[in-house]
Amino acid sequence: MRAVIQRVSQASVNIHNNTHTSIKQGLVIFLGIESNDNIDDIVWLTGKIQRLRIFNDAQLQMNLSISDINGEILIISQFTLFASTKKGNRPSYIRAARPETAITLYRQFIQHMQTLLPGKVQTGKFGEHMQISMANDGPVTIIIDTKNKE
């Protein structure tokens, strides 16, 4: 499982020219699901995100977590995070989970994040073409991969 996490002052998702959802200060999480991901990846990643101290304290140091600031989260499924560009110019997505597997894990990820941050989690729509608007705050962008825990 791979997540690109962006600290934002606001973000929104539009689907078919209609606002699907929006958040204020918090995190946008682009979530890629690999074919061999499982519940262990979900538990580890959601906990890591909840505890990630990337928000400024009173001294403008990144010492606060999403929980500390009472922030919101927007989760967007993005299979292209597992694109391979090793061969040729057209990316291969062979490592990305098939939709029937990915949707289940995506929903479990959302549910687990909702238990950690009740009332603070919004989502895009799995499999839809979406327009994501956001104001990256900082900018702060963190990449986390459950198979490469750095």
Q: What angle do CA 107, 113, 119 make, to 5 degrees?
A: 105
Which one of the listed residues 80, 104, 115, 141 is annotated catalytic? 80
DSSP string for 79-98: GGGG-B-SSSSS-B-TTBPP
**80 among known catalytic residues:** yes
Could you give the residue numbers annotated as active site?
Answer: 80
